[in-house]
Amino acid sequence: MLIDPFDRHITYVRISVTDRCDFRCVYCMAEDMTFLPKKDLLTLEELARLCGAFVDRGIRKIRLTGGEPLVRRNVMWLIREVGREVGTGRLDELTITTNGSQLGRFADDLASAGVRRINVSLDTLDKARFEAITRWGKYDKVMAGIEVAKAAGLAIKINAVALKSVNEHEFDRMIEWCGREGFDLTLIETMPLGDIDGDRTDQYLPLSRVRADLERRWTLTDIPYRTGGPARYVEIKETGGRLGFITPLTHNFCESCNRVRVTCTGTMYMCLGQEDAIDLRAPLRASESNELLDEAIRAGIARKPKGHDFVIDRRAAKPAVRRHMSVTGG
């Protein structure tokens, strides 16, 4: 078992398979991005071995992320390899976070590989606004992909970043749509990660304010439902659906943090909001056995901090963390 200095059991790892994405969301990255050279990325075989090493150490849930994970060439090979751990019972769940652009191609394959649940990042149901937020995204393609994923039997959770003066008037519509479709919905506060073309203080919308506004029209009841991540959930009486809130700024979720993140280059960050990290690529490549890799993983867990110190402040224009979310793993 992996236990950090604060007696938290680490059972969840989010692994990025690529920093590349076919969108350029305004809160996530600049439009003119420079991505990592392909030679710097872990190979799919190395990623599979890394996943196996984490499972050996008691990890029960793996989420594959990006960038956009489904743009990685031959990524389904990796997904099938890790999915076998679900079949053996050594892994409780393999999940994917996606922008939905490739679901039309891969949804059936994901379901057959052992994926039962996906998160789809979708910040608006307005086509023009969607294409403004994502810059390069095609709304109709994403919506068609979501329908294919639903037909394939995948449970779908919609993730929406709450953006002031952008989508804050759409949450009622999104609640109604998710209720009809049988999707969970999670709202997320924007996080100060990476330099973007703009000022995040103009984007930041506290979810405490959003919830207070929603409660004027919806009956929201706190429930103990958890998916292993940081969201706190309520049940919406009028739809019977679930609504999650991820609040890294107004109410951090560090006391129950059970996860670490690994980048596509093999760097493990013990906290999303801190720069401390440990290299897993060197020990992974230094030996065919996992002894050195295990030592590095345990050394990293031993340095896991109590929490992050995110803040969005107009007096501090720099991001709290310079790396982009697409590098860390979204």
Instruction: For residue 3, tell me if it sits in a domain.
Output: no
Supply the CATH number for residue 160's domain.
3.20.20.70
Domain hosting 278: range is 12-328
Query: What is the distance in angstroms between the CA of the first residue and the CA of the last residue of the chain?
Result: 25
Count of structural domains within the chain: 1
User: Both tokens of residue 82?
Assistant: 């890790």
Instruction: Give the largest Cα separation in the chain, rounded.
Output: 59
pLDDT of residue 273: 77
At 315 the pLDDT is: 47
3-state DSSP of the chain: CCECCCCCECCEEEEECCCCCCCCCCCCCCCCCCCCCHHHCCCHHHHHHHHHHHHHCCCCEEEEECCCHHHCCCHHHHHHHHHHHHHHCCCCEEEEEECCCCHHHHHHHHHHCCCCEEEEECCCCCHHHHHHHHCCCCHHHHHHHHHHHHHCCCEEEEEEEEECCCCCCCHHHHHHHHHHHCCEEEEEECCCECCCCCCHHHCECCHHHHHHHHCCCCCEEECCCCCCCCCEEEEECCCCCEEEEECCCCCCCHHHCCEEEECCCCEEECCCCCCCEEECHHHHHHCCCCHHHHHHHHHHHCCCCCCCCCCCECCECCCCECCCHHHHCC
Q: Is residue 4 part of a domain?
A: no
Whats the size of the chain, residue-wise? 330
Burial of 59 (0-12, 13-18, 19+ CB in 10 A): buried
Q: What is d(CA 148, CA 146) in angstroms, rounded to the nearest whole number? A: 5
Residue 84 lies in a domain: yes
d(CA 330, CA 324): 9
Nearest-angstrom CA–CA distance, 297 and 269:
10
Phi, psi at 266, each rounded to 5°: 90, 20
Q: What is the pLDDT along the chain (330 residues), one digit of tens a residue?
A: 899 999 999 999 999 999 999 998 888 878 888 889 988 999 999 999 999 999 999 999 999 999 999 999 999 999 999 999 999 999 999 999 999 999 999 999 999 999 999 999 999 999 999 999 999 999 999 999 999 999 999 999 999 999 988 899 999 999 999 999 999 999 998 866 544 455 545 678 899 999 999 999 999 999 999 887 788 999 999 999 999 999 876 556 677 889 999 999 999 999 987 889 999 999 999 999 999 999 999 999 999 998 866 554 444 555 445 555 555 665
6 falls within a domain: no
Q: What pLDDT sits at residue 106? A: 98
Q: 148 vs 53, 67, 141, 153, 303, CA distance in Å? A: 33, 21, 11, 9, 42
The DSSP letter of residue 4 is: -
Does any domain span residue 7? Answer: no
Whether 1 maps to a domain, the answer reads: no
Establish if 318 belongs to a structural domain.
yes
Q: Is residue 148 a part of any domain in this protein?
A: yes
- Residue 1 CB contacts under 8 Å (≥ 6 apart), including other chains: 9, 57, 58
Dist. CA 280–CA 269, nearest whole Å = 10
**274 dihedral zone (left: phi>0; alpha: psi -120 to 50; beta):** beta
DSSP string, 146-176: HHHHHHTT-EEEEEEEEBTTTTTT-HHHHHH
